[in-house]
Amino acid sequence: MKPIKVGILGLGTVGGGTVNVLKRNAAEIERRIGRELIITRASAKDLTKSRICNTDGIELTSNPNDIINDPDIDIVLELIGGAGPVKDMVLAAINNGKHVVTANKSLIALHGNEIFTAASAKGVIVAFEAAVAGGIPIIKAIREGLSGNRIQWLAGIINGTGNFILTEMRDKGRDFADVLAEAQALGYAEADPTFDVEGIDAAHKLTILAAIAFGIPLQFDKVYTEGITGITRTDVEYAEQLGYRIKHLGIARQMPNGIELRVHPTLIPERRLIANVNGVMNAVVVKGDAVGPSLYYGAGAGAEPTASAVVADVVDVARALTSDPENRVPHLAFQANQLANIPVVSSNSFRTAYYLRLMAEDKPGVLADVTRILADHDISIEAIIQKEPSSGDTAVPIILLTQITLEQEMNAAIAEIEALTTVTGKINRIRMETLG
C-alpha cells in the first residue's frame, strides 16, 4: 500500500517532538498500521532557527499554505498552538479534504463546534488527543474506553504548572510567588503565567473533557474559573494538618439541575490517589455509572509526551482512512445531532463542602457569631479549629470545614461573617471534594 503522507504546521516544542517520535519509531509504527507513514513537508515561521528535531528528508517551508494545499498530503498536523490564524488554517485544510490532528486546546475549546461541523460536512476527522493532559490518552479513554457508561463526574489535574507550584508550596513550605518565579526559570511556566495560574488553560481542557463526557457542545464561556494565586502556604499547611491536599482541579459534574463546570483550587483527602499526583504530572479521575471511579495519570506537557498523543491520533486517522465517515468515533463522543442541550449551572448553584480560614479577635462570643451565621444559612460544620495567634498578633486564625452546601448560601454567609466587627479582613474560602 502506498505510504501515508503527513504535513506538519509548526516545528516548535510539540512539532519538533512529533518529528522526533515519528522518525525514531517509524518502523514500530509501520508494524502497527501496516503502511509506511512519512512526513513530507513541515512549516515554520523562521526557517533559520535551530530546532530540537532533525528535519532531514522533510521539505521545509515558511508558508503553511504549501502544506494545506498540497494534494499529496493526507493528514495535516496543526502544532502551532494558540488562537489567531491557526483556526483559518485548520478550516482550510478541512476544506481541502484533509484530516487534521491538533494539540491546540484553546482552538478546540473556543472554535471546536465550528471546526467539527466543517469536518463532518467534508467527511474528515479532526483529532485532538494531545489537547488535554498531554500524553495521557484521556480523550480516547472517555470517548471510547468508557462508552458503555453514563459519566457522572470527572475531576482532573490538567495544568502541570499549577500542580508544580502547589506541590512545591507543600513539600518545601514555599510561597506562591517564589515558586512561580522558579517555574518560569525552569521553563514550566510562560513569561505571562496568566493562562496557567488563573486557570484559563485548565478551563480550555475542562471544556473539552466535559463535552465528550456528557455529549454537550463546547462551552468555554460557561466554565467557572478560579486560579491558584489566592492560595497561601498557610492554607497548604492547614489543609495538610487536616489530612487534605490542595490541588487545582477542573471538575465537570452532572447534577439534577444541569452540569457544573468549574476550575478552582480544591481540598482533597490525602488518601485519594489524585491527591498524590505531584510536580508537573497530570491525572484525571472519571466516574462512570458502570465502571465506578477510574484514574488516568501521566505527563501533561513536554515535547515527547505531547507527541505521543499526536502520533496516536495520526495512527487512528491512518486506520480510519478507509472507514465509513458515518460510522467513526464522533468528534465529541456522541453523534453530532445527538448533542444534548443540558444547562450549565451558575456558580451560585454549585454544591460543595468548604474550607474557610478567617482571622478573628480572640474573645468570647466570636465563634458563636460565626457558627450562628452559618447555621442561619443551613450550613453544617464538619470541624472547627482555632489556631494560636502569631506572636504580637491579637487576631487568631480560625479554620472551618463545612459539609456540602449551596454556594449561594455560602456567599451570603461569608458576606455576613466578614461584616462582623470581630472578624478581620477577608475570609479565604477553598472548595472541598471527597472524589469518592
Amino acid identity, position 352: T
Q: Who contacts 71 (Cβ-Cβ below 8 Å, separation ≥6)?
A: none
Out of 116, 153, 195, 296, name the contact with its own copies by CB under 8 A.
Answer: 296
Question: SS3 of 432, please?
Answer: strand
If binding is defined by CB under 8 A, does position 341 make contact with its own copies? no
If binding is defined by CB under 8 A, does position 8 make contact with its own copies? no
Question: SS3 of 411, please?
Answer: helix
If binding is defined by CB under 8 A, does position 349 make contact with its own copies? no
CB of 320 to its own copies, least distance (A): 8
Rounded-to-5 percentages of helix, strand, coil across the chain: 40, 25, 35
Q: Mask: binding to its own copies, 78-117, rule CB under 8 A, as x and -? A: ----------------------------------------
Residues with catalytic roles:
205
CB of 15 to its own copies, least distance (A): 14
Residue that has been written with the C-alpha cell 484533509 in this structure = 98
227 marked among binding-site residues: no
If binding is defined by CB under 8 A, does position 24 make contact with its own copies? yes
Specify the stretch interacting with its own copies by CB under 8 A; choose among 25-33, 68-76, 103-111, 196-204: 25-33
CB of 127 to its own copies, least distance (A): 12
Specify the stretch interacting with its own copies by CB under 8 A; choose among 17-25, 183-191, 239-247, 388-396: 17-25
Specify the stretch interacting with its own copies by CB under 8 A; choose among 93-101, 115-123, 128-136, 365-373: 128-136
If binding is defined by CB under 8 A, does position 132 make contact with its own copies? no
Out of 101, 307, 358, 366, name the contact with its own copies by CB under 8 A.
Answer: 307
| HEC sequence for 6-71 | EEEECCCHHHHHHHHHHHHCHHHHHHHHCCCEEEEEEECCCCCCCCCCCCCCCEEECCHHHHHCCC
12 marked among binding-site residues: yes
Cα separations in angstroms, 270 against 166, 237, 383, 426? 14, 13, 17, 27
Residue that has been written with the C-alpha cell 471510547 in this structure = 144
Q: Mask: binding to its own copies, 31-70, rule CB under 8 A, as x and -? A: xxxx------------------------------------
CB of 53 to its own copies, least distance (A): 13
Q: Determine how β-strand 224-225 pairs with β-strand 151-157.
A: unpaired
If binding is defined by CB under 8 A, does position 25 make contact with its own copies? yes
In 301-379, alpha helices (H) = 303-320, 366-376
Specify the stretch interacting with its own copies by CB under 8 A; choose among 48-56, 94-102, 111-119, 285-293: 285-293
The torsion angles phi and psi of 417, rounded to 5 degrees, stand at -65, -40
Separation CA 315–CA 318 (nearest Å): 5
CB of 278 to its own copies, least distance (A): 9
Nearer to its own copies among residue 51 and residue 377 (C-beta): 51
The residues with which 429 forms a beta bridge, in sequence order, are 356
Residue 360 contacts residue 422 (beta carbons within 8 Å) = yes
Nearer to its own copies among residue 88 and residue 171 (C-beta): 171
Specify the stretch interacting with its own copies by CB under 8 A; choose among 27-35, 228-236, 403-411, 428-436: 27-35
Residue 197 contacts residue 228 (beta carbons within 8 Å) = yes
> Is 48 exposed, middle or buried, given 0-12, 13-18 or 19+ CB atoms closer than 10 A?
exposed
Nearer to its own copies among residue 312 and residue 427 (C-beta): 312
In 248-347, alpha helices (H) = 303-320
If binding is defined by CB under 8 A, does position 277 make contact with its own copies? yes
Separation CA 349–CA 345 (nearest Å): 6
First to last CA, the chain: 50
Residue 224 contacts residue 165 (beta carbons within 8 Å) = no
Separation CA 205–CA 169 (nearest Å): 24
199 marked among binding-site residues: no
300 marked among binding-site residues: no
Out of 95, 96, 294, 424, name the contact with its own copies by CB under 8 A.
Answer: 294
Out of 17, 64, 160, 193, name the contact with its own copies by CB under 8 A.
Answer: 17
14 marked among binding-site residues: yes
Residue that has been written with the C-alpha cell 444534548 in this structure = 340
Residue numbers at the binding site for its own copies (CB under 8 A): 17, 21-22, 24-25, 28-29, 31-34, 129, 135-137, 140-141, 144-150, 215, 271, 273, 276-277, 283, 288-299, 304-305, 307-312, 314-316, 319-324, 326-330, 333-335, 338, 340
Q: Could you list the residues known to form a binding site for NADPH, using ranges.
A: 105
